[in-house]
Chain A
């Protein structure tokens, strides 16, 4: 029996995993992956079965926790955004060596066009060098169906399976036909092969050879995968390789079927035989349409490019940066085959000349605003102050009207870069970091700064939540000062203040004092996120109304 639902790609995948007997979901929030664990948290099965669904401190801890659950024979998933995989890279790459016991899905949501990210990296490269299969759903239905398939594949090949989502699937709703009942969870069991779970050189040397041999099996799996297909076409002057979300755009342009033969790839390693057939049948004239970086294209083309005639992003037929659209795919096809212009070109309204950009901004009533107002006033008293920023809503402090920060690189880098700058002789060196980012990746850097009593001022702008991703629980709430003091910060220089317009002068005085201190200071500026505060107030009002 099945039922139809309207689900985001993220939600469809989460439901598929729940229906496949999931025992634990692990994640740190990150756009566009956040809704995977949120869906699991809210699903009745989670409570009923005691499925793990709490947020982890960062992607590395999440990955390791999921691997630990897999070691015990249960099905687990870990979800993160693309740059989260950089944080989790150590356990991720090594998890191909340990292998799995219960099926393990590592779900990574890439963000081409950088809707809410600092770069466009493509997770397929990671799965390739880690040597594990990767699944790349193109539709919400595939996202649902592939979750179960992915667990089975993981258990069959003995490694985790990586899932690559992109923003346009994660955050797009579609009609999904789902099962109505969930499979049983797996019992507690232990791995039969025990040596590969201890990655000492002697064990890893043996395991690496096995893994390389397993790669052949992974390719075999891809050849017969229900998610890879060779679709014949009459016009053999061109062959098209299309992957993931890009196949939707190709299908949109040819509702009656593509005139050219197509290999659709949604499971990696790439299906060699299918691709060889396409090359043979088309005289080696191949167009690759893939979202993200030119992963397939580079491989088909080869470094010397002396074999096939491959075009795509590297040849400028498709945009190298930013996401694909049905329009960019149409333009590419018309460039290659001008005779398609009649059916693919559309008459378009000119863009309005009066419309101006509307960049995002910190909310009115947000405490980060008060921090920047006070900080800017104090730093105006210095000639060469540098402020090292971090990842979160407060990154918007770079924009007008604040123009308050000089760097933003990755989670936690504010503290460590401020320390490095102080090491170089920079003063004032100020770091600004949010509470959730601090517990994600700031604590270890703080320890470095504490151990050298570096003359930096670290502002932890604590809004008691993970704000940018929509207000998920933050792991350090209620213990930020304790963490700093526990790491060894001098309690006299761990100061706390409310972030509020009424504390403006007080905050200025406090910042002035700590910036002039010749050692490490932490200033915890605190006020609940205005969005979660509103939500909490309305929930409370509802509760009281229910009581009355």
Chain B
């Protein structure tokens, strides 16, 4: 198997928590991982991106080639669009829809939504709400991860849930439960969207 994932967001949003869970799940599944992050200046409210590569074979490059990513996972809708050139033509975008407007010239939200829709293979949702409906908005990142997991072959949802339990172990059963519920809600949402897209 191989999954090349672009994680995107705005500095401070916590995209790396998603990488941490997937990395742990992949390591426990005996897979190879490479994950290039950016630290330092750009973490101060700028755009941040991380290439997460998971494979059953050894991985050479820390960076993903243009046109080769299987999936963009973004916490912010414009940031999802920023990395389109990295994505495979038939890849998927999974993104939160709440914009972070910390710049003067943020595009009109209608344009952002239209571009995401035009790509076709898109799961765009307000993951705060998705998480809140089943647990708490604090688990929004795990809802996003749940949606993304629909497009990652080679790691089962059970393996990811196990990793979530491991990572939140010190926070107690209630927090683990809440994150797993959010994860499942995200997965259900993405499954529904993917089925709808393939039916069209």
Interface residues of A, Cβ cutoff 8 Å to B: 4-6, 8, 31-32, 34-35, 115-116, 167-169, 171-175, 245, 248-249, 251-252, 255, 325-327, 330, 346-352, 354-363, 393, 396, 400, 468-470
Contact = CB atoms under 8 A, between A and B. Distances in A.
Contacts of B37: 8, 171-173
A318 to B, nearest CB: 15
Contacts, number: 148
A393 B78 CA distance: 25
Given A175-B27, A352-B82, A356-B105, A330 B65 contact: yes
Interface in B89-145: 89, 102-107, 111-112, 115
Contacts of A255: 57, 60
B107 A173 contact: no
A116 B42 CA distance: 7
A497 to B, nearest CB: 24
A357 B82 CA distance: 9
A174 B60 CA distance: 10
A393 to B, nearest CB: 7
Contacts of A470: 39, 43
- Secondary structure of the A side of the interface? loop
Given A171-B38, A327-B66, A355-B78, A6 B44 contact: no
Contact of B62 (A172, A348, A360, A400): A172
Given A6-B27, A361-B44, A352 B84 contact: yes
The 7 A-B residue pairs with the shortest CB-CB distance in the complex, in nearest-first order: A116-B40, A31-B40, A360-B46, A252-B61, A251-B60, A346-B67, A348-B67
A171 to B, nearest CB: 5
Contacts of B59: 174
B177 interface: no
Given A248-B60, A363-B44, A174 B82 contact: no
A31 B41 contact: yes
B36 to A, nearest CB: 4
A358 B47 contact: yes
A361 to B, nearest CB: 4
A174 B24 CA distance: 12
Range of interface residues on chain B? 35 or more
A171 B68 contact: no
A351 B84 contact: yes
A352 B33 contact: no
B179 interface: no
B138 to A, nearest CB: 14
18 contacts: A8-B37, A172-B34, A172-B62, A174-B59, A249-B61, A327-B65, A327-B66, A348-B66, A348-B85, A352-B115, A357-B47, A358-B47, A358-B79, A360-B11, A361-B45, A361-B102, A393-B44, A396-B44
Given A6-B35, A171-B37, A356-B105, 14 more contacts: A6-B24, A34-B39, A116-B42, A169-B62, A252-B60, A326-B65, A346-B66, A347-B67, A352-B84, A355-B78, A355-B82, A359-B46, A362-B45, A363-B12
Nearest to A251: B60
B67 A251 contact: no
Contact of A346 (B10, B68, B105, B112): B68
Contact of B87 (A34, A173, A349, A360): A349
A173 B60 contact: no
A451 B38 CA distance: 43
B146 interface: no
Interface in B130-175: none
A326 B38 contact: no
Contacts of B107: 354-356
B63 interface: yes
B44 A360 contact: yes
